[in-house]
Structure 1
Amino acid sequence: MLFPAVAWAEDVRPAAYAYYFRQWNAFDMPFHRHDSTEIMYLIRGSCRIEVARDGGPPEDVTLSHGEFIVVAAGVPHRLIVEGSCRMLNVEFGFATSGAGVPSIRALAREEKALAALLQAPVTYAVLRDPDEVYHALRGLVLELDALDAGGGRGADGGGPLVSLLFAQLLIRIARLRDEAESEAAPQAELYVRKCIEFMRQHYDRDIQAKDVAAAVNLHPGYVHRLFKSQSGRTITEYLTGLRMEKAKMLLLRTDIPIADISDYVGVGSRQYFHALFKRHTGMTPVQFRQTMDAHRWDDGERR
């Protein structure tokens, strides 16, 4: 999840742990994680963020001027800067909401976009900002600076104005994400259709998820998320299912030798093809063809 359960389950408010402006030059950071949620806003230049993913290679995100990423607490990630960039970073968690300051949960009851953001089933989110988020973020950091300089910020993360500025920031991020998802839905459907079309035309070749992404001119990590969110399956799962359906058709309707079927559906290894086919159908290719032949013979006898 993008935010910890406490953010929407209890009466808490955001509390800043760390915040800073930073100029990065030709820097390669090792993977690390925070106990806090982190916002990394790119003010100038470009950079890459690699975010670790369970059971697979890290996802690679490129940020350019005016874009930012929100990374969930506990998620390993790293920064890669090949040239130079300037960033504004804020790391924050949640503290008990004080009297007179609305909790994030209370605000989420009135703001649907905020409720969706708090419970987003992702480990990070990347958004492009029309300057609204930057001004809210900068205002928050300046207030935190002023409090720290005057010794007015305690261990709870700040006073009521900090809480209000944090609330404004999260609501702006939530609305921006809501707008981006609304605008992206038709485009996402188009990309998924193009991916499926490419796979249907090239399933007999040794193609992989990265080849599908290249066919639609998108980053493999982005296509992976897009395809999974739209279809409920990964590209690899869809491609494997498509190949197995084609194999069933060839076994049922043609006399192509079973030993050659794997080549017809783009699975180079016969042994791997047999294992995949049995996993999907519960039968080996030989058993499937024999069973189907028996059914056809029985149907002919009945007629």
Structure 2
Amino acid sequence: MDRLGLFPAVWLEEERQPRVHAYYFKQWERYDMAYHRHDSTEIMYVISGVCEVWLQEGHSAVPEGIELKKGEFILLNANAEHRLIVRDTCRMLNVEFGPAAHGSAVPSIKRLAEEDGPLHGLLVSNRPYVVLRDPEEVYHALKSLVLELDAGGLDGGTLGQLLLCQLLIRIARLKQEAAGDPERQAALYVKMSAAYLYENYDRDIRVKDAAAAVNLHPGYLQRLFKAQTGRTLMEYLTAIRMEKAKMLLLRTDIPVSDIPDYVGVGSRSYFHALFKKHTGLTPVAFRHSIDAHRWREG
């Protein structure tokens, strides 16, 4: 019997390429699945809600339960006996895949692992599963793969093969980052929360919203963020908003009075005060100075 690691040894012993066997979105509601195993390596990605994945490595082993929240996923070996429990609601994206004969222009997993240290480390991991927190890079790779499979079938063609290999490399690098020292882990949380701020700067958001997005206590995230960036979360958010406001004033004809709404600052007077503090000019003066500069150049 092959070793019960994340991947069977054949991935590194022979020229194989990964091939998707199944993929699906599923909204689970108060569900209790029986223990089972299947022939595919599986990625279970939580889009929203909470679920529990229970693993049993042998009949005499004590089951091991892992809670997964939004933005977290588990990579399971094909041989791992497991079950899913959803106590309330959980939406997931599942992708199941395994090794197939190498027959495309894309290098085999064996060849890629020879060039990429993190991928090699993922393939030789001796645990039957890994749980990771995603800064949305894996989810974007998963969605790109699923869209390509929807268009071209389970084979996916050359692009599908490239996307599946890219997905495995991203997971491998994320695993390497998570296994690093506490400083690296802190940097990952800061990166994730900064990404949240960039994606939501136009909304009325607070520290607790960013903290919830990365599953950390607001006070703890504040300390990590200040230590890593030298600024508080709200100072960082304000800087993003002011840069976006400068871009809108420079590149668009949006009325100055409407700019605060585009950058998530509800009060116009407060926006004007913030903008002048960061640039030394009012929004109107900033736009006029740009217009005057353009006129002189013309």
TM-score (norm 2): 0.58
Deviation of residue 159 (structure 1)? 1.1
Deviation of residue 56 (structure 1)? 1.8
Percent identity of equivalent pairs: 54
Deviation of residue 184 (structure 1)? 5.3
CA contact (8 A) 2:6 2:76 kept: yes
Deviations along 1:46-73, one digit per CA (max 9) or x if unpaired, are 0100011234211100000000000101
1:22 is matched with 26
1:62 is matched with 67
2:130 is matched with 125
CA contact (8 A) 2:50 2:86 kept: yes
- Alignment map for 1:47-196 (pairs within 5 Å): 47-54=51-58, 55-148=60-153, 153=154, 157-183=155-181
Cα separation, 2, equivalents of 1:51 and 1:19 = 21
Deviations along 1:219-248, one digit per CA (max 9) or x if unpaired, are xxxxxxxxxxxxxxxxxxxxxxxxxxxxxx
Change in Cα spacing, 1:184 to 1:60, as seen in structure 2 (3 Å) is farther
Deviation of residue 158 (structure 1)? 3.0
Structure possessing the higher radius of gyration over alpha carbons: 1
1:3 match: secondary structure: coil
Deviation of residue 11 (structure 1)? 1.0
Q: Which amino acid aligns with 1:118?
A: L
Cα separation, 2, equivalents of 1:109 and 1:45 = 38
Q: Which amino acid aligns with 1:178?
A: Q
Deviation of residue 9 (structure 1)? 1.1
Deviation of residue 185 (structure 1)? 9.8
Q: Which amino acid aligns with 1:71?
A: L
1:47 match: secondary structure: strand
2:63 match: secondary structure: strand
Any gaps of 5 or more consecutive residues in structure 1? 188-303
TM-score (norm 1): 0.57
Change in Cα spacing, 1:37 to 1:186, as seen in structure 2 (3 Å) is same
1:57 match: secondary structure: coil
CA contact (8 A) 2:28 2:86 kept: yes
Matched, 1:4 2:2: no
CA contact (8 A) 2:141 2:163 kept: yes
Cα separation, 1, equivalents of 2:90 and 2:7 = 27
The count of corresponding residues between Structure 1 and Structure 2 is 180
Cα separation, 2, equivalents of 1:84 and 1:74 = 27
1:51 match: secondary structure: strand
Change in Cα spacing, 1:141 to 1:85, as seen in structure 2 (3 Å) is same
Deviation of residue 186 (structure 1)? 10
